[in-house]
Chains A and B, each alone.
Chain A
Amino acid sequence: MATNPDASLHTSAPTSANSGAAVRRRNNVTELGDPSARTLLLAHGFGCSQEVWRKVAPDLARDFHVVLFDHVGAGGSDLSAYDAGKYDSLDGYADDVVEIVDGLGLRDVVYIGHSVSSMVGVLASTRRPDLFSALILVGPSARYVNDGDYVGGFEQADIDSLLDALDANYLGWSADMAPLIMGNSERPELGQELTASFCRIDPAIARQFARVTFLSDNRDDLPAVTTPTLVLQCADDIIAPTTVGRFVNESIPGSRMVLMKTRGHIPNLSGSDELIGEIRSYLK
């Protein structure tokens, strides 16, 4: 904590959370591959959980130590660790990444962040450059909302309709979301059902995470990155269009950018072979 002056702002961050076991539990940490190999830390974005890496992680684990985790509020994380004040900006998530790396005693970490977790990695690496040997940003955006000459791709009204869509879907949504709405603490049989569903997210937390994700502005943080960085840009990504990826690439000194053929925003699922190929070739 002494190295992180911001942590003092997050009054709820318990010191015990810094120990390996506590961090593992809080962020549902999963490890694959040889622990003595080079470590890849895979971070999921808004809307999903570490499951978004399921087509990527096993392949990488043949040659790397692959560490996966869920952000607090997603997947199998500890929902009771959610502190709305701490997680009201991406800094709270970046604190967690630093705590995971410290808690697990990882060094020279290659951080691979999807979507909003790209910026979480940017913040973690500028805070503790000593922990990271490379950043791989998959579909990054430093700001989603247009601002003057800057084109992020969205207007505030679009973000509001995303929040409407989130609410509408939790309101009427069917079988796989219903248990979450009902709450499963007193109903273990619903918990059983939950383990079969994918990308669990707590509705209330998802709403705040959506705001934090899509209303953040990290443009000023990019020039401070000193870790070698690769930007992986998909074709036809409407969440993070190529102009936005190029902005990230141009703002991070010495970074590289690769335009992938895979279309859309989730190459980890829809273009895993190409994504794996690019990660491997960058780390050669």
Chain B
Amino acid sequence: MTDGLEASYRRLYEDAPCGFLSMSGDDEILAVNNTLLAWLGLERGDVVGSTFNDLQTVGSTLFYETRYQPVLQLQGEVREVSLTLRRGDGSPMPVLVNATVDEATDDSPRIVRAAIFDSTSRQDYEKALLDARRSAESSEARVRVLQDASSAFGAAGSEAELAAAMVRIAREAFSAGSAAVLLLDDDGQLQLTDGQHPFHAALSAGDARPETRAIADGEPLVLTASRGELADFPVVASALAGARIQTLSVVPIPGDDRPDGVLVCFFGRAREFNSHDLELLAALARQFCQTLTRIRLRDELERLALYDRLTGLANRALLQERLATSLAKATHSGSAMAVIFLDLDGFKPVNDLLGHAIGDSVLQQVSGRIADVVRRDDLVGRFGGDEFVVVCDDATEPVARAIATRIAATVAAPLESVGEEVSITASIGIAVYQPSERNREVSSSDDVLALADAAMYRSKKSGRRGVITADFV
């Protein structure tokens, strides 16, 4: 009876519908059952005395040593851990493992017992599930990045804000240590618009840089230092080594006829970019470009709304806005400000006799000259026709008169593209606003302009050139 029971336990162990392994505390295999030997196509002598590691694929042992072992030893058991064994013929066999630890006592050493279940069919299914999930996750992540970009770019009100949004999104999307957006300026030079760029400041004008190549090729560029891919960029290579950067990616930001700039990402270890990554980079760059176009267009419209198209000077709307601000500021600070009003003498015959094209050229030349002789913070505007206004903060009557005298002199100098018989001069009037206790009730900008206009009219009526009339508010 006892023999029969023992024999049946023995059979149960050897021929159970799962594999059994017993290991010493040192991971040496002490016992294995027939089922597992049959699955693996190995002899008992091959297995006993080896380690559990020896039965696994290399990839599986990485997980076994770094994850399975610490948890097993700390917790005393693990359940349903997925590992991959290696059959005698080298083929892999996916299994699920339950294991428990019997801690050493005075009578017995430490023993680990493992039950092993063939999970081949389940593994196929799980692998398919896993692949599907990874693919879904990765496309979902890409969509999320583009949605995030879309809302962040939409909220950006300036090139700088747009670039900052791009830097943040690119860092997150690609786990980049740092990122930077560089845009080409009017001279074709790359300017750092936002982000951290470890070598931009260190480069001299002639140094080769990956950004220039990406712009010239119109293609993304991924370069890794340890693969020798920075050989063409020696200055960049040494700066990156100093900053402990292994890989950089550069993607051109498309523009009208040539790229507008680049997005650069920097990585602390050697990184690979697959086609999905490159597509995502390109998609971000396209989205950036659309927003950049919108922002630049809006800036341009704003400029058109506030500046005179012919001369580039402030238009009447901007002049009035600025004058109101200046009056309020002067009242607040108590310092004087002035408005200079000028009207060109001799302009009408130019237009009538030489045509509007020459007339426009004269207005442009005069505008440029006035802008050149005022102080840096003065605002010059075209009030209409051949009338100009200059708003001068912090200007007393002598200061305003000095500016007006410079204007009169520069306007009277000979002009290009018109004959010597044409002589243009300016009639100038000044209104000076001196805030005091008495005039706390500030005049409107219209009143001040009207006063300057009246002063100009008096100068003109005097019939003599060079007279500058001033009035006080």
Contacts and interface: CB of A to CB of B under 8 A. Distances in A.
B70 A88 contact: no
Interface in B166-182: 171-172, 175-178
B70 A168 contact: no
Contact of B69 (A11, A171, A265): A265
A264 B82 contact: no
Interface of B: 25-27, 51, 53, 57-63, 65-67, 69-71, 73-75, 79-84, 96, 122-123, 126-127, 129-130, 133-134, 171-172, 175-178, 196, 198, 226, 242-246, 266-270
A84 B96 CA distance: 31
10 contacts: A6-B244, A8-B196, A48-B74, A54-B74, A85-B177, A88-B175, A168-B130, A171-B129, A198-B75, A236-B51
Nearest to A212: B269
Interface residues of A, number: 60
Contacts of A236: 51, 53
A169 B63 contact: yes
Contacts of A270: 25-27, 69, 73
A197 interface: yes
A239 B74 contact: no
A85 B27 CA distance: 38
Interface string A222-258: 0000000000000010110000000000000000000
Interface string A161-191: 1101111110111111000000000000000
A167 B246 CA distance: 27
Contacts, number: 173
Contact of B269 (A115, A215, A263): A215
Contact of B59 (A161, A212, A269): A161
A265 to B, nearest CB: 4
Contact of A158 (B25, B59, B75): B59
Contact of B266 (A9, A169, A198): A9
B53 A238 contact: yes
A1 to B, nearest CB: 14
Given A91-B244, A162-B63, A164-B130, A264 B69 contact: yes
A244 to B, nearest CB: 14
Given A91-B268, A198-B75, A270-B26, A85 B171 contact: yes
Contact of B243 (A9, A157, A161): A9
Contacts of B80: 172-174
